[in-house]
Amino acid sequence: MEVKAVTKYARIAPKKARDLAREIQGRPVSEALNITDFSERKAAKLFGKTLKSAIANAEHNNGLSAEDLVVKLAVVEDGPILRRGWYGARGMFKPIAKRTSHIRIILSKDED
Q: What is the pLDDT of residue 73?
A: 96
pLDDT in tens, 82-93: 999 999 999 999
Segment (H or E) for 71: strand 69-87
Percent of the chain with pLDDT over 70: 98
For the chain, give every domain's residue range. Answer: 2-109
Q: What is the pLDDT of residue 9?
A: 98
Other Cβ atoms less than 10 A from the Cβ of 13: the count is 19
Q: Using CB atoms within 10 A of its CB, is residue 73 exposed (0-12), middle (13-18) or buried (19+)?
A: middle
Point out the residues of the chain with pLDDT beneath 50: none
Q: What is the pLDDT of residue 112?
A: 55
pLDDT in tens, 13-25: 999 999 999 999 9
Segment (H or E) for 104: strand 93-109
Name the CATH superfamily, with its identifier, for domain 2-109.
Ribosomal protein L22/L17 (3.90.470.10)
